[in-house]
Structure 1
Amino acid sequence: MARLFGTDGVRGLANSELTPELALRIAAAAARVLAAHDRSHRPVAVVGRDPRASGEMLEAAVCAGLASAGADVLKVGVLPTPGIAFLVGDLGADMGVVISASHNPMPDNGVKLFAAGGHKLSDEIEDEIEADLDSTAERPTGAGVGRIYEVSDATDRYVAHLLTATPNRLDGLKVVVDCANGAAWATAPRAYREAGAEVIAIHALPDGENINDGCGSTHLDALRAAVLAEGADLGIAHDGDADRCLAVDAAGEVVDGDQIMAVLALAMRDAGELTDDSLVVTVMSNLGLHVAMRDAGVKLRTTAVGDRYVLDELRASRLALGGEQSGHVVLPGHATTGDGLLVAMRLMARVAATGRSLAELAGVMTKMPQVLVNVRVADKATVAASTLVSAAVSAVEAELGETGRVLLRPSGTEQLVRVMVEALSQEAAQTAADRLAAVVATAQ
């Protein structure tokens, strides 16, 4: 049987794969498991969601499940995922539940769990919760049933935290923010304005159905056009639950997660905040970031793809900055998970403090052309063990030398092998990637 929890909670088509019944069982099991780990007090859970229509239904189910298992619930309403993670610690709760499918299309939804302090659950705790889904344990009755409370100042608390974590004000900056009709639709414009920026918000009228619909961090064309039309200094794009941030400079050019990390790494180094002068990235980060950080004296630590692996390395080595090309960037000194609003405010603070444009700051790194080809295979393991494939990779690596890079990575969920090549030109990268993809396709 496949594991219920994926790399980022439980996701699926709402009311079909992720039903209210399943959401209730997950919440009740989580409350029972966490209560079993600490019987000193009645469990308290923070519950929040993004604005997609099915969230209302699933929120009701989650709250019912938690209360039925004897946990008290603190409802915070529509709020970015990192805001909910922050509130778990700020309110002294034992756990948090986020009802969101992040950048997925509207019909999907998800249930993500946080432990005390707003940290992601370990695989072991997730396995315990999954094993407890069909528990026949006696339910509490009477005063033992959990209560459900509304937290009226949840947004105020989160915005105050963001302002405290921003090193300087944003006065003088004009920014367009694409809220993806998602969880940040009210919070992001408010936070940026309170920090001093002039803010034009787009895709900030969620109706339950338009989340991520042709907007946000996965669809940047509207933001690019708005930045140019408004004469803004920069643009910020979030995804549906606002744990990611991508940017656009004044000329409409995209500034991705690698470039954002380069800007923040140098800002934090200059401020003495970059622990061990190290940055944590995944194997998919652009070679240009490696070159730029090497030239700047910043060390890179590389993990497998996935924010979980970045978080693990940040915690294990007690480092201050890490993330992914997708814009999922983590600042452990201020957040327990990727926080798109925090990253945006720190990025804008660097622009405001230096008086330099975002384009100039991001220019510290030169992006290498990167080509990704997905090759469908019968057996990923066979391809991974193929001497023909390894020989072809070695040959391409020798040809590219220090001016390029090759990465072959089996998909974690499908019978696919992802072939990624970076080179000095788009043509060279495409040629090499197609050549390796042809070898992978025959090595089965």
Structure 2
Amino acid sequence: MTLIKSISGIRGTIGGEPNNNLTPIDVVRFAAAYGSYILSDPNISEATIVIGRDARISGAMVQALVSNTLIGLGIDVIDLGMATTPTVEMMVPKENAQGGIILTASHNPKQWNALKLLDSKGEFLNAVAGAKILEIAKNDAFDFASVDDLGSIKEDQTSLEMHINAVLDHPLVEIDAIRSSGIKVVVDGVNSIGGIAIPALLKKLNIEVVELYCEPNGYFPHNPEPLKEHLGALSEKVKETKADFGIVVDPDVDRLAFIDENGEMFGEEYTLVACADYVLSKTPGNTVSNMSSTRALKDITEKHGGTYYSSAVGEVNVVTKMKEVNAIIGGEGNGGIIDPQLHYGRDSLIGTALFLSLLSEIKIPVSELKKTYPEYFMSKGKIELEPTMDVDFLLDAIEKVYQKENPNTIDGVKIDFSNSWVHLRKSNTEPIIRVYTEAPSQKEADDLMNRFKKELLELGS
């Protein structure tokens, strides 16, 4: 059982002992710390926070704890109920709120939950703000409101409709072409809010939808991370129903992956590549992805005359870099699409609409579309952290071993070889070291990943 406190929020497994797991005491303490941080701004006399959650079994309990803690601080709450992460992000500025909290552990299994924290722009907090909140929580530096100054809760059931309408209003979403395309899609909603949001968008676009695991009850039918090894049922359903492709999202709908018409993985890394290819063909410009993402985005960007930039892993880091270089589109290779014309957040709804716009324009099968992109293969491994492991020591040691390769240490250690790369970093969301590689073939990528896992374990022994 685990509790991870980081600048991006608090994440852990439900139950157990305080400070070691995500218990009600930890939820209240961290919600109070976030609310106290918001109220510490001398320019804020009254505060409103937007709250939404995915369909996790623990979601209603955690939401009640967070909402009532904020009320106890004198903060008003706008309760969206079940809502996607990008929907909450968009609602914060729409409501002129001072912040937002998304209750989701993203791709983690059902026993996990988390508080993901937003600023007044609906974007994830930066490192400075996150550190301040951790300090407030550590010191229990709270000042709760008197009975006459308690906050209030207002429920809002319109947020998904707002989000869908914003996607439909996007200048690059070709509504008429999509509606006349005759496309049929299978949607795996992993029994969370994506099972409501994605079909609702598709039906507005006149897409025939086959629903798979779209009941938002929080009982995930498979590991909720949208990777090939978890998507056998979706693959079979696409072939069985003769659908044009399949869509899968994670529980909070900020990661998006596709299955082609043959039941084969399009590749979550290529979600961003395909969407960027379409956007850049209409509005050329720069792109950004994190250091663990495929080189194919760089190739596509340069094909359209733009410049590609990389950032440290994490949505806030990608967004910061996108603003710095005025990127037209960006995201993360885990299937996260960030389109600043809509908002600065990973968003599977806009990603779905852009992908459909591309397919409606080129009129070729998804498998044929994949063949038009540079072919790279990735391997994504991990090492479970033992209490005795010194991660900083291990990464420093690897950096020294490969010093001649000029490793990048902005975020862990990334080593670029002539036709491949490896990125080693401690996860912000799980007690693991991630080992990502990319090479010209799957065997080369797998061999490189296993080689570096072995080297790390030997250094740690």
TM-score of the superposed pair, with normalisation by structure 2: 0.84
In the aligned structure 2, how far is the partner of 1:76 from the partner of 1:180? 20
Residue 351 of structure 2 is aligned to residue 337 of structure 1: no
Residue 323 of structure 2 is aligned to residue 315 of structure 1: yes
In the aligned structure 2, how far is the partner of 1:374 from the partner of 1:53? 27
Residue 442 of structure 2 is aligned to residue 426 of structure 1: yes
Alignment-derived partner of residue 221 in structure 1: 232
Residue 106 of structure 2 is aligned to residue 102 of structure 1: yes
Q: 1:343 to 1:256 in 2, by over 3 A?
A: same
Alignment-derived partner of residue 173 in structure 1: 183
Identity %: 22
Residue 130 of structure 2 is aligned to residue 126 of structure 1: yes
Map Cα deviations across residues 86-142 of structure 1 (whole Å, 9 max, x no partner): 111112211111111111111111111111121111222222222223445543224
Alignment-derived partner of residue 205 in structure 2: 195
Let me know the Cα RMSD of the aligned residues: 3.0
In the aligned structure 1, how far is the partner of 2:422 from the partner of 2:4? 29
In the aligned structure 2, how far is the partner of 1:271 from the partner of 1:363? 21
Deviation at 1:384, TM superposition (A): 2.6
In the aligned structure 2, how far is the partner of 1:150 from the partner of 1:400? 53
Q: Which runs of 5+ in 1 are unaligned?
A: none
Would you say the 8 A contact 2:126–2:316 is kept in 1?
Answer: no
1:229-378 matches, cutoff 5 A: 229-272=240-283, 274=284, 277-372=285-380
Q: What letter corresponds to residue 420 of structure 1 in structure 2?
A: T
Residue 77 of structure 2 is aligned to residue 66 of structure 1: no
Q: 1:442 to 1:72 in 2, by over 3 A?
A: closer
In the aligned structure 2, how far is the partner of 1:92 from the partner of 1:128? 23
In the aligned structure 1, how far is the partner of 2:366 from the partner of 2:211? 19
Alignment-derived partner of residue 12 in structure 1: 12
- Of 37, 49, 52, the residue aligned with 1:48 is 52
In the aligned structure 1, how far is the partner of 2:10 from the partner of 2:348? 21
Q: How many residues align?
A: 433
Q: 1:88 to 1:150 in 2, by over 3 A?
A: same
Residue 99 of structure 2 is aligned to residue 84 of structure 1: no
Q: What letter corresponds to residue 9 of structure 1 in structure 2?
A: G
Alignment-derived partner of residue 61 in structure 2: 57
Alignment-derived partner of residue 155 in structure 2: 150
Would you say the 8 A contact 2:32–2:142 is kept in 1?
Answer: no
Deviation at 1:70, TM superposition (A): 0.6
In the aligned structure 2, how far is the partner of 1:93 from the partner of 1:354? 41
Map Cα deviations across residues 406-434 of structure 1 (whole Å, 9 max, x no partner): 325243576857363513x3344445555
In the aligned structure 2, how far is the partner of 1:163 from the partner of 1:130? 39
Q: Which runs of 5+ in 2 are unaligned?
A: 408-415
Deviation at 1:329, TM superposition (A): 1.8
In the aligned structure 2, how far is the partner of 1:442 from the partner of 1:428? 21
In the aligned structure 2, how far is the partner of 1:222 from the partner of 1:291? 33
In the aligned structure 2, how far is the partner of 1:285 from the partner of 1:411? 16
Would you say the 8 A contact 1:373–1:419 is kept in 2?
Answer: yes
Q: What letter corresponds to residue 220 of structure 1 in structure 2?
A: L
Deviation at 1:393, TM superposition (A): 9.9
Deviation at 1:265, TM superposition (A): 1.9
Would you say the 8 A contact 2:291–2:423 is kept in 1?
Answer: no
